[in-house]
């Protein structure tokens, strides 16, 4: 095992006024994030995308194993293959697999089996969990993989919002087709499919609200 030296930590600090301004501004920015289903096909700047993906990679992870892969799909042929496969699964889900309660819960969001945004959005980010690593043909464990990849994806979404772009955390179910289409290795499992881009001109979102913090914070 490799031993790392410990080095001085250089914290970033602000005075209290600045902390207040920054925390409020960041909250206000994130509060405007919405799951978007109506994209423009306008390409997104390559360097912006790079920074967004690098931000995802700053997430903490079990034993610092960073057990994630982010596949960036721009190829229209692959996007169409993903759209067709997703719609096939979603059609089955909406017409026969999802119980009535689930369909009722989704009704306010206006979703259905059709996923045109998978072809229209300029970029699809397909997030995979890496369940283990193969090092010299030997399986090496990863830890807290779901938690780690969830954290990385949360940072990805924050970075997308910070850049002035929009996304949808899409979970076509089951997602095995993503592994096949992208020819991912055995150690990977699809986690989320995230179209990213600018909002289309006539984009709408459902008028839903978030819980007030008082409803989910318990002070001791
Ligand atoms: N995967 C389906 C259904 C769906 C499920 C939940 I929970 C959502 O919050 C939204 C949609 C779809 O993407 O349409």
Backbone angles phi, psi at 189, to 5 degrees: -125, 135
3-state secondary structure string across 33-68:
CCECCCECCCCCCHHHHHHHHHHHCCCCCHHHCCCE
What ligand 1 atom has the least distance to the C-alpha of 111?
14
Pocket of ligand 1 (CB under 6 A): 90, 106, 109, 111, 170-173
User: Whose C-alpha lies nearest to ligand 1, atom 6?
Assistant: 106
Residues 170 and 194 sit within 8 Å (Cβ to Cβ)? yes
Longest dimension (CA), the chain: 58
How much is the pLDDT for 192? 98
How much is the pLDDT for 3? 84
**Which spans in the chain are helix H?**
16-31, 46-56, 76-92, 100-106, 117-120, 145-162, 176-181, 213-216
For the chain, 220 residues long, give each residue's pLDDT as a single digit of tens.
678 899 999 999 999 999 999 999 999 999 999 999 999 999 999 999 999 999 999 999 999 999 999 999 999 999 999 999 999 999 999 999 999 999 999 999 999 999 999 999 999 999 999 999 999 999 999 999 999 999 999 999 999 999 999 999 999 999 999 999 999 999 999 999 999 999 999 999 999 999 999 999 999 9
Ligand 1 midpoint to CA 69 (Å): 22
How much is the pLDDT for 1? 62
* Cut 0.95: pTM above it: yes
Within 10 angstroms of residue 69's Cβ, the number of other Cβ atoms is: 18
How much is the pLDDT for 60? 98
How much is the pLDDT for 86? 98
User: Whose C-alpha lies nearest to ligand 1, atom 8?
Assistant: 106
Q: Which of 99, 100, 111, 190 to mutate to test the pocket of ligand 1 (most atoms within 8 A of CB)?
A: 111
């Amino acid at each position: 095992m490799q031993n790392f030296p410990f080095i001085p930590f250089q914290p970033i600090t602000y005075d209290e006024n600045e902390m207040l301004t920054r925390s409020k501004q960041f909250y206000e920015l994130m509060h405007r994030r919405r799951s978007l289903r109506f994209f423009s096909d306008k390409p997104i700047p390559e360097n912006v995308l790079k920074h967004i993906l690098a931000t995802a990679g700053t997430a903490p992870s079990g034993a610092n194993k960073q057990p994630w892969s982010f596949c960036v799909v721009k190829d229209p042929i692959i996007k169409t293959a993903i759209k067709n496969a997703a719609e096939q699964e979603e059609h089955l889900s909406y017409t026969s697999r999802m119980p009535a309660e689930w369909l009722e819960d989704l009704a306010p969001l206006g979703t259905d089996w059709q996923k045109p945004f998978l072809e229209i959005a300029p970029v699809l980010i397909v997030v995979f969990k890496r369940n283990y690593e193969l090092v010299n043909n030997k399986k090496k464990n990863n830890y807290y993989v779901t938690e780690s990849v969830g954290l990385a994806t949360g940072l990805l979404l924050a970075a997308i919002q910070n850049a002035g772009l929009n996304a949808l955390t899409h979970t076509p179910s089951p997602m095995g087709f993503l592994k096949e289409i992208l020819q991912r290795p055995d150690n990977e499992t699809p986690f989320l499919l995230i179209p990213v881009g600018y909002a289309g001109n006539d984009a709408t979102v459902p008028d839903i609200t978030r819980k007030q913090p008082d409803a989910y914070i318990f002070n001791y």
